């Protein structure tokens, strides 16, 4: 089940983030984005707990996406991106930045039709980012 984030989900979101990213985000990052854009933050619930989340900007930027390691390869990431798409502005091209070393995420986005558009050298300090973008424009906006 996909639903909007609420602050009671914060602990699980931080846990998933910590196991998912090389440099995890601090809790305040999630509080900050939620404060700015409470409508652009969704979680996926399974087995009575949060097992994935996505944060995005309506202009098309997929900011953070992660799925609990125990729940990966079940289509949850795909469903979270599909949910985000519904709330992006009409005509936008969804995009995300991905670490050069994060092959799983690159494969994931490629499976959704995203391509590597360009590289931002040292985006993560000591590692490059690929900007991955899909040519599939958002048609309907929620």
Ligand X SMILES: CC(C)(COP(=O)(O)OP(=O)(O)OC[C@H]1O[C@@H](n2cnc3c(N)ncnc32)[C@H](O)[C@@H]1OP(=O)(O)O)[C@@H](O)C(=O)NCCC(=O)NCCS
Rounded-to-10 torsion of CA 142, 21, 104, 73 = -70
Catalytic (active site) residue 33: no
Burial 81-116 (b: 16+ CB within 10 A, else e): bebbbeebeeebebbbbbbbebeebbebbeebebee
Q: How far is the CB of 103 from ligand X (least distance, A)?
A: 7
Q: How far is the CB of 111 from ligand X (least distance, A)?
A: 3
Which residues here bind ligand X, judged by CB under 6 A? Answer: 20-21, 65-67, 72-78, 96, 98, 102, 104-105, 107-108, 111
Per the residue annotation, which of 45, 109, 117, 123 is the catalytic one?
Answer: 109
Residue 90 vs 136, nearer CB to ligand X: 136
Q: How far is the CB of 74 from ligand X (least distance, A)?
A: 5
Q: Are 95 and 112 in contact (CB under 8 A)?
A: no
Catalytic (active site) residue 109: yes
Task: Report angle CA 90, 95, 98 to the nearest 5 degrees.
Answer: 165
Q: How far is the CB of 5 from ligand X (least distance, A)?
A: 16
Residue 20 vs 40, nearer CB to ligand X: 20
Residue 53's nearest CA partner among 14, 102, 109, 101 is 14
Residue 3 vs 78, nearer CB to ligand X: 78
Per the residue annotation, which of 97, 117, 123, 127 is the catalytic one?
Answer: 97
Residue 21 vs 32, nearer CB to ligand X: 21
Distance CA 56, CA 64 (A): 7
Tell me the two tokens of residue 28.
């305040």
Catalytic residues: 97, 109
């Amino acid at each position: 089940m996909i639903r909007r984030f609420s602050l009671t989900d914060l602990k699980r979101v931080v846990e998933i983030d910590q196991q998912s990213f090389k440099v995890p985000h601090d809790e305040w990052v999630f509080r900050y984005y939620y404060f700015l854009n409470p409508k652009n933050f969704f979680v996926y619930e399974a087995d009575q707990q949060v097992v994935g989340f996505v944060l995005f900007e309506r202009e098309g930027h997929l900011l953070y996406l992660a799925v609990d390691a125990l729940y990966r390869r079940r289509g949850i990431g795909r469903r979270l991106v599909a949910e985000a798409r519904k709330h992006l502005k009409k005509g936008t091209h969804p995009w995300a930045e991905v670490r050069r070393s994060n092959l799983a995420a690159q494969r994931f986005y490629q499976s959704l039709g995203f391509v590597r558009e360009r590289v931002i050298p040292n985006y993560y300090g000591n590692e490059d980012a690929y900007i991955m973008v899909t040519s599939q424009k958002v048609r309907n906006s929620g």
